[in-house]
Chains A and B, each alone.
Chain A
């Protein structure tokens, strides 16, 4: 049973560019959340998708957008990249409508903005 998978593993972009990160949830899961984790910090909640809709959003600008597909996989898009967007981007999946359900995290995508 595959866990949460993310692609790519690493990515290098320059300021002003756009990036798309991808996530496949754990089998049977229908909810996907995205987090940004800067070096030495805890994960910061970006948003959560459920039934192809953004259900909740953290304190991130509109440059951060996402999408969830009918197969529950998800994408995170970041436009107009800034140096400060360099971080580990984590995807987490869970099942069902309860927000206190256990979340399963992927290994993350390391984004470096030059």
Chain B
């Protein structure tokens, strides 16, 4: 299973774009990259998932370079309510095993 590495914490200001990078050097061909958001005392919430290149939905974009050894979650124009912990997961298809790291604590300042 691919191990992920993320920054422990990040600070940003309202209205800025935030990019959180996750390193997964030993990612395998069957691996998918998934990001979750978690607020205090709540369960994680799915944000976005991708396999390669770029994926965009209504809340975020996910950039995955050709070698897939890292991925970047991009949150456009963050607000105070985006303050949360963000987790990067690499799920190997067929293993049904999910490894969350310690995540990145994003703090959005006014």
CB within 8 Å of B: which residues of A? 4, 33, 35, 41-45, 48, 50, 55-56, 58, 88, 90-92, 98-100, 102-108
Given A45-B98, A100-B49, A105 and B44 contact (CB-CB distance below 8 Å) = yes
Chain A residues positioned under 8 Å from B46 (CB to CB):
102-104
B100 within 8 A of A: yes
Q: B100 contacts A105, CB within 8 Å?
A: no
Which residues of B10-48 have CB atoms within 8 Å of chain A's CB atoms? Answer: 32, 34, 41-46
A-B contact count (CB 8 A): 64
9 shortest A-B CB distances, which residue pairs?
A105-B43, A42-B100, A56-B96, A100-B32, A99-B96, A102-B46, A100-B91, A43-B100, A45-B98
Q: A98 contacts B43, CB within 8 Å?
A: no
Q: A90 contacts B93, CB within 8 Å?
A: no
Q: Which of A4, A42, A90, A108 contacts B87 (CB 8 A)?
A: A42
Q: A99 contacts B103, CB within 8 Å?
A: no
Q: B43 contacts A106, CB within 8 Å?
A: yes
Q: A43 contacts B32, CB within 8 Å?
A: no
A13 CA / B43 CA spacing, docked (Å): 22
B95 within 8 A of A: yes
